[in-house]
Chains A and B, each alone.
Chain A
Amino acid sequence: MFVTQYIKDVFGAIKSLGIGMRRTLWYFVRPKEIITQQYPDNKDTLVLAERFRGEVVMPHDENNEHACTGCTACELACPNGSIKIVTKFDITPEGKRKKAIDQFVYRLDMCTMCNMCVVACPSDAIIMANDFEHSVYDRTKLTKILNKPGSKVRDGIE
């Protein structure tokens, strides 16, 4: 019936408005729930989520060894050409010529943090790091070489 529907509408509206207002009041009286980070002030204690993608890095172990074989899978996977791998040929003790990376060139200014290179890497040589403070005064500084000088590929990684 029309009148009962009308009254039901009114009370339903009041109830749903009440639910919304209770939720905002709940947050209003609990300032501990505030999620704002006061960034430059809390720089020392700032903790970012692990899934945050700031830049691509290549982890090196204590012997200055990385896991990159120079297979260029990441270069092929990159949708906007941010990665360029320059390879060289090392001579192994057995006298064989072995392909290895010379320079892993990564252009942060072109990177969209899409994570495709990390997924494509067969030997998990590159990962996404949390660092987000990328401001520099010169744009050429955003072109980075990820492998450290004198580093070589870890043994046992093909």
Chain B
Amino acid sequence: MTAHQIIFYCLAALILITGLLSVTCPKVFRSAIFLLFSLIGIAGLYFWMEAEFIAAVQISVYVGGIVVIIIFSIFLTEQAGKETRSIHPVRTVFAVLAALLGMILTYLTVLNYDFVESNEAFDLNIPRIGNAMVATGEGGFSLPFEVVSILLLAAMIGCIVVAMRSSITKPDEKKLTQSITEIDEA
């Protein structure tokens, strides 16, 4: 076994163990921290593959962004410090079933796809990545980019509506409906 392989197995073990811990840990905040390590492991895997750009994106978006937001939402829940209640066994069975089904689905998809082994290094020219982001032709990411931005816009509008409703309901019901329609128009 070469050092390269040893590093791969270490990273894979880190991802799997911390991932498992994050779903089994009774304390919700600890789960978030284990999720953090799992995501860092995935970033490490990208670094191992020498895909530095995607690894940095992984860290910046998932670890630096998503986990921080998850931690913030945990802060806002009431019983963050207490252990979560034990789940009804029937629900556990169904959860395991759902996880298994998802795994089988992924595995079948992976089997059906014909992966071609390649020894070529990634072309990690930054201007090329930048051009691919805005290109509309083949290999361009312009459309997915825009679709994601529409999703984000919808999420943002939803956030604003949720945030406004709580503060305006009491004083004036009329104003509330007016402001919501205003947001909808915007």
Is there a contact between chains A and B in the complex with CB atoms less than 8 Å apart? no
